């Protein structure tokens, strides 16, 4: 079976396709291309470089703050959601993405909240896939609605999906997410695996008193399916401000536990220097396991990401306390008529200039951002 990676097509079996971390290529445009008016409006050639020399190529786009579950490390039990008129429309998101692409953004990740809660998300993906200079378009989801939507998403051009799976036990799922539905997540994973064009990866967040004892089961589950699995350290971004270091399990601690059962882990080739995960292969067989050690080993020096919230605010860091209003600019008459990409560019560059060297979780004066993870977009 032929799969496209960056550049030329290579031959990969579906299993290799899943366990090897390649960048999923955006399929060629099938409908209209990016607006020629827009291309004329922005002739930017300067890359998006911040004050510390980091070139920015990735944009995370949150499409909603709503979610069908309530993970305790992210959302409160009772949440106030954004009014729908505050959300960027698909057209506004696509316009911002097109302008960002002219500035050097090459990778997009759609997230939330739960992105599949946004009706007809596949329409947005189809629009984004038409941006010619993009090298990757990915989606992060809790998987609950994936089985129903996967055909539309893949048909729209999705080639890479990260699915969150923290537990294989329904009772733990209910405790962690304050809702039932593990079966739906597992069905979503199987539906994604059945798509030969899709690179599927699992993400797991571990809390010491909740699911630390499932680390080995999760690794076994991923290896049986030849899926790459990444463990994310619990960060102080939960809505209820209950984070504390003792609940966080470090990547090193998880790795030691995994090596105790599965044998030595060997560093895997780094495909993208800006990737937040450190990946390992198993010395004794197939599989890939990674660690996103945002708390114990921050990767700020290689960060190449900007974030757009569902209500159109641009952020230069998950932990930042400042946001820049893109929605206001996108809704101005000039930009609506595609005459003034420069106004959007100015916001992006201002946001970038203000980016700090590091998130500073360990600094004495650290305080978490006002918005929690589900409102920012993970």
**Chain residues that interact with ligand SAM, rule: CB under 6 A:** 67, 73-74, 111-112, 114, 140-142, 164, 203, 205, 232, 234-235, 237-238, 373-374, 378
Query: Using CB distances below 5 to 8 A depending on partner kind, what does residue 105 bind out of ligand SF4, ligand SAM, none?
Result: none
What whole-number distance in Å separates Cα of residue 172 and Cα of residue 180? 10
| 236/301 Cα distance (integer angstroms) | 20
SS (H, E, C) 256-303: HHHHHHHCCEEECCCCCCCCCCEEEEECCEEEEEEEECCCCCCCHHHC
Burial of 349 (0-12, 13-18, 19+ CB in 10 A): middle
Picked from ligand SAM, ligand SF4, none, the partner binding residue 234 (CB below 5 to 8 A depending on kind) is ligand SAM
DSSP 149-186: HHHHHHHHT--EEEEE---S-HHHHHHHHSS--HHHHH
Minimum gap (Å) between residue 278 Cβ and ligand SF4: 22
**Quick one: angle between helices 182-193 and 170-177, nearest 10?**
110
Task: Identify the H or E element spanning 37.
Answer: helix 36-41
Closest distance to ligand SF4 from the beta carbon of 375 (Å): 9
75 binds, among ligand SF4, ligand SAM, none (CB under 5 to 8 A by kind): ligand SF4
For residues 41 and 237, which CB has a smaller minimum distance to ligand SF4 in the complex?
237
- Beta strand pairing call for 136-141 and 324-325: unpaired
Residue whose CB is less far from ligand SAM, 88 or 335: 88
What minimum distance in Å lies between the beta carbon of 338 and ligand SAM? 31
The least distance separating ligand SF4 from the CB of residue 309, rounded to whole angstroms, comes to: 13
b/e map of 219-236 (b: 16 or more CB within 10 Å)? bbbbbebbbbbbbbbbbb
DSSP states along 316-377: S-TT-S--EEHHHHHTSHHHHTT--HHHHHHHHHHHHHT--S---TTSTT----SS-HHHH-
Query: Which C-beta is closer to ligand SF4: that of 67 or that of 341?
Result: 67
User: Which partner from the list ligand SF4, ligand SAM, none does 70 bind, CB cut-off 5 to 8 Å by kind?
Assistant: ligand SF4
Minimum separation from the CB atom of position 111 to ligand SF4 (A)? 8
Q: Nearest residue by C-beta to ligand SAM?
A: 378
Identity of the residue, 166 or 345, whose beta carbon is nearer to ligand SF4 in the bound complex? 166
**Pairwise CA distance, residues 234 & 210, whole Å:** 12
- Report the nearest approach of ligand SAM to the CB of residue 230 (Å): 9
Q: Which is nearer to ligand SAM, 96 or 234 (CB)?
A: 234
| Residue 102 burial by Cβ neighbours in a 10 Å radius (0-12, 13-18, 19+) | buried
Q: Which does 232 bind (CB under 5 to 8 A by kind): ligand SF4, ligand SAM, none?
A: ligand SAM
Which residue, 238 or 345, has its beta carbon nearer to ligand SF4? Answer: 238
CB of 138 to ligand SAM, least distance (A): 11
**Rounded Cα–Cα distance for residues 123 and 146 (Å):** 15
Smallest gap from Cβ 277 to ligand SAM, in A, equals 12
Q: Which residues bind ligand SF4 (CB under 6 A)?
A: 67, 69-71, 74-75, 112-114, 142, 373-374
Q: Which is nearer to ligand SF4, 73 or 282 (CB)?
A: 73
Query: Toward ligand SF4, which CB reaches closer, 179 or 336?
Result: 179
Tell the smallest beta-carbon distance from residue 142 to ligand SF4 (Å): 4
Pick the closest to residue 3 from 18, 342, 206 (CA basis).
18
Give the residue with the Cβ less far from ligand SF4, 71 or 124.
71
Choosing among ligand SAM, ligand SF4, none, which partner's interface includes residue 324 (Cβ < 5 to 8 Å by kind)?
none
Q: What secondary structure, in 3-state letters, does 110-126 show?
A: EECCCHHHCCCHHHHHH
From ligand SF4, ligand SAM, none, interface partner of 102 (C-beta below 5 to 8 A by class): none
Choose from ligand SAM, ligand SF4, none: what does 111 bind? Cβ within 5-8 Å by kind: ligand SAM
């Amino acid at each position: 079976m032929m799969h496209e990676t960056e550049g030329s097509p290579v031959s990969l079996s579906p299993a290799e396709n899943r366990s090897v971390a390649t960048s999923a290529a955006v399929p060629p445009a099938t409908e209209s291309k990016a607006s020629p008016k827009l291309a004329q409006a922005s002739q930017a050639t300067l890359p998006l470089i911040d004050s510390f020399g980091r070139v920015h190529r990735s944009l995370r786009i949150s499409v909603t703050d709503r979610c069908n579950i309530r993970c305790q490390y992210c959302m409160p039990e009772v949440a106030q959601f954004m009014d729908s008129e505050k959300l960027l429309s698909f057209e506004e998101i696509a316009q911002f993405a097109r302008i960002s692409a002219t500035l050097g953004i090459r990778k997009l990740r759609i997230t939330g909240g739960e992105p599949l809660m946004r009706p007809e998300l596949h329409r947005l993906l189809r629009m984004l896939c038409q941006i010619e200079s993009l090298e990757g378009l990915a989606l992060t989801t809790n998987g609950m609605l994936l089985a129903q939507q996967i055909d539309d998403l893949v048909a729209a051009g999705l080639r890479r999906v990260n699915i969150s799976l923290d537990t294989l036990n329904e009772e733990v799922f209910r405790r962690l997410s304050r809702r039932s539905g593990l079966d739906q997540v597992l069905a979503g994973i199987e539906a994604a695996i059945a798509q030969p064009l899709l690179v599927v990866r699992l993400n797991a967040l571990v809390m010491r008193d909740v699911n630390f004892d499932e680390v080995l089961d999760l690794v076994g589950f991923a290896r049986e399916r030849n899926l790459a699995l990444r463990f994310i350290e619990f960060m102080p971004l939960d809505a209820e401000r209950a984070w504390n270091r003792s609940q966080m399990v470090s990547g090193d601690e998880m790795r030691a536990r995994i090596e105790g059962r599965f044998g030595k882990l060997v560093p895997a080739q780094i495909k993208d220097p800006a990737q937040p995960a450190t990946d390992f292969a198993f010395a004794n067989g197939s599989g890939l396991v990674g660690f996103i050690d945002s708390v114990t080993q921050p990767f700020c020096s290689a960060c190449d990401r900007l974030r757009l919230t569902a209500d159109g605010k641009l952020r230069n860091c998950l932990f930042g306390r400042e946001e820049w209003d893109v929605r206001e600019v996108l809704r101005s008459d000039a930009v609506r008529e595609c005459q003034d990409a420069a106004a959007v560019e100015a916001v992006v560059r201002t946001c970038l200039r203000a980016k700090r060297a590091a998130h500073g979780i360990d600094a004495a004066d650290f305080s978490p951002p006002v918005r929690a993870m589900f409102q920012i977009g993970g």
